[in-house]
C-alpha cells in the first residue's frame, strides 16, 4: 500500500527568530525534515507533500532539487494561498488559520493513507515504522492514529513548549487531547502556566507532537468543519483551527476513533536558537553510531 508523508513547514518560527525549516542540522547540511523523510522512506512512504508559504518555494526547490529524487515523489501545497472558504466573508486576518487549515490545503494532493507532522521536530525511526504498520493494517476509513510521546521526553532545556495532553481509554484510544502552552520545568516539577498560575503535570503523561495518521476520508469532515469555523471566526484575527481541536470534535461526536501509538523515543526539536547545537550534537552522535549515513538522500547528480 502506498503511503504519503505530509510535512507542515509554513510556520514563521517567531520563538526561533527566523526560518528554521531549512536550517542545516546534519553533517552534510541536512535539515530535521530530511531525517523525517529518510525515516519515512525506510518505513515505506513513497510520496512527500510539503506545506509551505509561496515565498519559501524557491528555497525548498533548491534544497530538494536532488535530495530523495530517486526515492520519492515530492510536491508542494501553499497554505497561504488556500483561501477558497474565505470567499464571501470580510476577513480581518492576514496569516493562515493553523494546522487544521494547513492539512486541508493538501486535500487535492493526497489519495492514500498519510502521516502528517511538524517540520522542526525529530520523531525517530521506530515511530515511523509503527505508524506505517498501523496505516497499512487499518480497515476502517474513520479509524485514525496518533503517535504519542512521554511528556518528560519532549521538553526543551531553553524555554517552554506547547503540547497536546492526551487522555486515553482502556483500549488505548484517544478520549481527548487538550492543547497546553507554556509547559516547562519549575524546580523538580513539570508544570504548565495558564493565566499566571502554574499547574503540575505528570512527567509520564502521553502528549501529542502533531504526528498523526489519517485516511483520505478525513477530508470530508475537515472540509465541513473548516467551513463552519470560517463562518464563526472570519472576523476574529486570533482564531486558530488546530488539528487536535478538530480531532477532539470528531471523537466527541463519535465520528472517528483515534488509536494512540505510544513511543519511548526522546523528542529532538528546534524551538529556540539555543536548541540547535544540542540537536546538532545528538544527530552527530546518531551518525557516529551508524543509525544514519553521513549524507542523506543525495543522488549521484547532486
> What is the distance between the alpha carbons of residues 156 and 160, in angstroms, rounded to a whole number?
7
Residuewise pLDDT in 10s, the chain (302 residues): 899 999 999 875 444 444 567 889 999 999 999 999 999 999 999 999 999 999 999 999 999 988 898 889 999 999 999 998 888 888 888 889 999 999 999 999 999 999 999 998 999 999 999 999 999 999 999 999 999 999 999 998 889 999 999 999 999 999 999 889 899 999 899 999 998 999 999 999 999 999 999 999 999 999 999 999 999 999 999 999 999 999 999 999 999 999 999 999 988 888 888 888 999 999 999 999 999 999 998 754 44
- How high is the pLDDT of residue 292? 96
- How high is the pLDDT of residue 299? 58
| CB atoms closer than 10 angstroms to residue 238 | 7
> What is the distance between the alpha carbons of residues 57 and 31, in angstroms, rounded to a whole number?
16
In sign, the C-alpha dihedral spanning 42, 47, 49, 50 is positive
- DSSP bridge partners of 259: 145, 173
What cell numbers appear for 36 in the block? 523525517
| CB atoms closer than 10 angstroms to residue 87 | 8
> What is the distance between the alpha carbons of residues 88 and 114, in angstroms, rounded to a whole number?
32
| DSSP tag of 87 | T
pLDDT digits (tens, 9 = 90+) for 73-83: 999 999 999 99
- How high is the pLDDT of residue 15? 44
- How high is the pLDDT of residue 20? 63
Rg of the chain over all Cα atoms, to the nearest angstrom: 19
- How high is the pLDDT of residue 263? 94
Helices of type H across 44-178: 57-63, 99-104, 125-137
What cell numbers appear for 78 in the block? 501553499
Strands (E), the chain: 4-8, 47-52, 73-78, 114-118, 121-122, 143-150, 161-168, 174-186, 189-194, 197-201, 206-214, 257-263, 268-269
Residue reference for cell 493553523 = 98
What cell numbers appear for 190 in the block? 513539570
Q: Quick one: angle between helices 32-43 and 125-137, nearest 10?
A: 40
Amino acid at each position: 500500500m502506498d503511503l504519503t508523508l505530509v510535512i507542515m513547514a509554513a510556520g514563521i518560527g517567531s520563538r526561533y527568530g527566523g526560518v528554521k525549516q531549512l536550517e542545516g542540522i546534519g553533517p552534510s547540511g541536512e535539515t530535521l525534515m530530511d531525517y523525517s523523510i529518510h525515516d519515512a522512506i525506510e518505513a515505506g512512504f513513497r510520496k512527500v507533500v510539503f506545506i509551505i508559504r509561496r515565498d519559501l518555494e524557491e528555497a525548498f526547490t533548491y534544497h530538494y532539487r536532488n535530495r530523495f529524487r530517486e526515492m520519492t515523489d515530492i510536491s508542494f501545497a501553499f497554505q497561504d494561498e488556500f483561501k477558497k472558504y474565505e470567499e464571501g466573508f470580510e476577513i480581518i486576518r492576514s496569516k493562515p488559520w493553523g494546522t487544521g487549515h494547513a492539512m486541508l490545503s493538501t486535500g487535492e494532493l493526497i489519495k492514500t493513507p498519510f502521516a502528517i507532522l511538524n517540520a522542526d521536530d525529530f520523531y525517530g525511526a521506530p515511530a515511523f515504522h509503527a505508524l506505517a504498520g498501523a496505516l497499512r493494517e487499518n480497515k476502517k476509513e474513520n479509524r485514525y492514529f496518533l503517535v504519542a510521546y512521554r511528556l518528560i521526553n519532549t521538553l526543551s532545556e531553553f524555554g517552554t513548549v506547547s503540547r497536546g495532553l492526551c487522555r486515553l481509554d482502556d483500549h488505548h484510544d484517544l478520549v481527548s487531547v487538550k492543547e497546553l502552552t507554556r509547559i516547562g520545568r519549575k524546580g523538580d516539577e513539570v508544570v504548565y502556566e495558564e493565566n499566571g498560575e502554574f499547574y503540575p503535570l505528570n512527567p509520564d503523561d502521553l502528549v501529542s507532537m502533531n504526528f498523526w495518521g489519517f485516511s483520505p476520508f478525513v477530508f470530508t469532515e475537515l472540509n465541513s468543519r473548516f467551513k463552519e469555523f470560517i463562518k464563526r471566526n472570519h472576523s476574529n484575527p486570533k482564531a486558530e483551527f488546530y488539528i487536535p481541536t478538530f480531532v477532539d470534535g470528531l471523537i466527541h461526536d463519535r465520528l472517528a476513533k483515534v488509536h494512540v501509538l505510544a513511543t519511548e523515543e526522546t523528542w529532538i526539536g528546534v524551538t529556540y536558537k539555543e536548541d540547535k547545537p544540542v540537536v546538532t550534537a545528538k544527530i552527530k552522535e546518531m551518525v557516529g553510531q551508524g543509525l544514519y549515513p553521513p549524507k542523506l538522500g543525495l543522488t549521484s547528480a547532486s
